[in-house]
Amino acid sequence: MKRDYRRTPVLLLAGLAIICFGALLMSQKVSAAAEGKITGTVKLEGAAPHMRGIDMSKDPYCVKQHENSPAHLENVVVGSGGGLENVVLYLSQGLPPAAANEVASGEPVFDQKGCMYTPHVLAMDINQKYKVITSDQTTHNIHPLPNPLTGNIPWNESQPPGAPPLIKSWKAEEVAIPVKCNIHPWMHGYFVVVKGPYGTTDTNGSYTISGVPPGSYTVTAWQEEYPAQTQKVTVTAGAPATADFTFKAK
């Protein structure tokens, strides 16, 4: 009898190990299937709106950070060749549940640098955890204000210099959650919480959504100032599909 009791934990552990291993294999299978990707560029048509300069004089530290690179609002950032930065592209329709529930790897990082948010817009998968860090020598408070109806819970914590990163996640999809710092009222950005693969445009306005399983989708491009746009895209294994978007300046 006694012996059996002794053995039970060993057996349990073994079982657990097997299950884990199996799960691992499964997950690899899934990601192996998702090899297609969507690429493209997002442009702004017309004159980019004037982005006001930010006066940070309330906090001398912030001023010092921008002595030779004056800070501006980042609501609309147009790069070389009219490329629109900080546009988030995600699959709003057609994603198979398996892929939708797949846990994306990696932790998107939201940095507070020179009393600005980098990136200005942080896209993440609903299943991802995201990390808030600070590179500043002044205290910030991070205060996302999600829509109460989505079930996401607002939070408000400050992060003194050198404090460990805050690791958080959201309950529900939401496009987009504004985030601000009350100590530095000009600091503001967005969390874009989506299901499945997503991409964010770089300074040239080009983006890549990788890990898209073959199939036909609706891609939505979200920009904080302009109404969102959608396109139908069909992804086949191997060949990357392209979808370009153009926003019209107001």
Residues that bind another protein (CB under 8 A): 52-59, 73, 75, 138-139, 141, 143, 145, 154-164, 166, 178, 180, 182-186, 188
Q: How far is the CB of 140 from another protein (least distance, A)?
A: 9
Could you identify the residue written with the tokens 């934990």? 9
**Smallest separation (angstroms) from another protein to the CB of 181:** 9
Least distance from another protein to the Cβ atom of residue 127, Å: 23
> What's the alpha-carbon Rg for the chain, to the nearest Å?
22
Q: Which is nearer to another protein, 52 or 64 (CB)?
A: 52
Pick 158 or 246: Cβ nearer another protein: 158
Type of residue found at 48: A
Two tokens, residue 24? 């691992």
- Nearest approach in angstroms of CB 17 to another protein is 32
Complex with another protein: residue 100 or 166, whichever CB lies closer = 166
Which of 81/160 has CB closer to another protein?
A: 160
- The sheet with strand 166-168 has its strands ordered as 116-118, 109-113, 130-134, 166-168
Closer residue to another protein (CB): 134 or 201: 134
Region for 101 from its dihedrals, namely left if φ exceeds 0, alpha if ψ lies in -120 to 50, beta otherwise: alpha
What is the nearest approach in angstroms of another protein to the Cβ of residue 160?
5
Nearer of residues 186 and 226 to another protein, judged by Cβ: 186
Give the nearest distance from C-beta 68 to another protein in angstroms: 17
List own/partner pairs for 72-79 with CB under 8 A and 24 or more apart: 73/186, 74/116, 74/120, 74/189, 75/49, 75/51, 75/224, 75/225, 76/44, 76/48, 76/49, 76/51, 76/223, 76/225, 76/249, 77/51, 77/120, 77/203, 78/44, 78/48, 79/202, 79/203, 79/204, 79/205
